[in-house]
């Protein structure tokens, strides 16, 4: 659903506060609500974004992208640094097709 938040004279409302308000409006738990993509209108006072309400935490974990689960605190962020990602990418460039997956797996 599209979520319009009016907040004249105030700073942008936090995603957490928006989740609580939506949960109260739709008589559900805050843990079942996912909000994302908020943009504040130039000059302030109005913010527009998207919200999704799930039946359970399991369905939320099943359908939400991993990066949003990390933001909600339901998943761990990927480990490893930028240099490791670049080295993995460059190792994989030396192979074609399904061999790329084996190259990126590393040595055992």
The pTM (predicted TM-score) of the whole model is 0.75
Q: Distance between CA 65 and CA 47 in Å, rounded?
A: 23
Architecture in CATH of 2-77: 2-Layer Sandwich (3.30)
Which tokens in the block code for residue 34? 């996912």
Domain map (residue ranges) of the chain: 2-77, 79-108
Could you tell me which of 35, 26, 76 has the C-alpha nearest to residue 55? 26
Contact between residue 11 and residue 19 where contact means Cβ atoms under 8 Å apart: no
The tens digit of pLDDT for each residue in 6-54 reads: 999 999 999 999 999 999 999 999 999 999 999 999 999 999 999 999 9
Q: Answer yes or no: are the C-beta atoms of 30 and 23 closer than 8 Å.
A: yes
């Amino acid at each position: 659903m599209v979520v319009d938040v009016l907040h004249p004279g105030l700073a942008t409302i936090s995603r957490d506060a928006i989740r609580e308000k939506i949960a109260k409006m739709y008589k559900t738990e805050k843990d079942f609500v996912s909000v994302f993509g908020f943009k504040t209108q130039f000059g302030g006072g109005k913010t527009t974004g998207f919200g999704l309400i799930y039946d359970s935490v399991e369905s939320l974990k099943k359908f939400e992208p991993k990066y949003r689960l990390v933001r909600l605190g339901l998943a761990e962020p990927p480990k490893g640094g930028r240099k490791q990602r670049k080295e993995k990418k460059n190792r994989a460039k030396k192979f074609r097709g399904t061999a790329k997956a084996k190259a990126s797996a590393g040595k055992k």
